[in-house]
Chains A and B, each alone.
Chain A
Amino acid sequence: MNSVGEACTELKREYDQCFNRWFAEKFLKGESTGDPCGQLFKRYQLCVQKAIKEKDIPIEGLEFMGPSKGKTENSS
């Protein structure tokens, strides 16, 4: 699946792989602490935000939040 910004597709894929694994193997089993995908998400986000501005997509009232605010960033 592509990203809205063509240049972001690769970053998106890396993040998605990380997230899907964490979601199925940790989050759904009750381990929601820890966020192994934080760095990937940040890089992917920077790209997406830029693409959205460039394409003038009308996103309103959505804060661009980082992953798992308030949780300690432990890389696992």
Chain B
Amino acid sequence: HPWETVTTAAMQKYPNPMNPSVVGVDVLARHVDPSGKLHSHRLLSTEWGIPSIVKSLIGTCRTKTYVQEHSVVDPVKKTMELKSSNISFTNLVSVDERLVYKPHPHEPDKTILTQEAIISVKGVSLSSYLEGLMANTISSNANKGREALEWVINRLNAEIEEFTASARGTMRNSMAAAAFVEK
């Protein structure tokens, strides 16, 4: 999919069926900087389905974990960078993730995603088994991320289709037609 489509979908990534644990997204701050790049700071709330007995022990308010995400969209250079890190359990583990979406250098209708994650566990040296396990999880999560965006893009296209059917001769109508031709 072209970069604009992927970027629009990435801004509306949640909810999607591939990430059922993300239960809340909020924008904390957003501004366009002097160079024209859009910065957004978001808070993501996740719920991991902790067994009810654990919930009753730790109190139901505390079963949510939180992640903060900073994204930068450059509409001129066509890059979208997302950096996220956990803000819950930082005394135990740090998960830092960085994703960059750019147009494919040779195929303009496609987008390339590069994704990296750094996981540090405090005070525990990671054995090679654990590292292997995490590497597998990260790469299958990367696939899940792509599937999630695919799902969002399909949903957005379906909404455009619905809108086109009911609106005639408007600007949006001609935009929707362009999006379909592109696809």
Contact = CB atoms under 8 A, between A and B. Distances in A.
Interface string B24-42: 1111111110101010010
Contact of A28 (B4, B14, B43): B4
B68 A1 contact: no
Contact of A64 (B11, B29, B36): B29
B93 interface: no
B24 A2 contact: yes
Contacts of B4: 24, 28
Nearest to B7: A28
A74 to B, nearest CB: 14
B31 A69 contact: yes
A62 B14 CA distance: 22
Given A30-B75, A59-B43, A8 B87 contact: no
B15 interface: yes
Contacts of B66: 57-58
B174 interface: no
A4 B31 contact: no
Interface of B: 4, 7-8, 11-12, 14-15, 22-32, 34, 36, 38, 41, 43, 45, 61, 66, 68, 73, 75-76, 87-88, 90, 175
Given A19-B30, A48-B28, A52-B43, 13 more contacts: A1-B22, A19-B27, A23-B38, A27-B38, A28-B73, A32-B75, A45-B28, A55-B61, A58-B90, A59-B87, A65-B30, A65-B31, A70-B34
6 interchain residue pairs of minimum CB distance: A65-B29, A4-B24, A24-B8, A2-B24, A1-B15, A32-B32
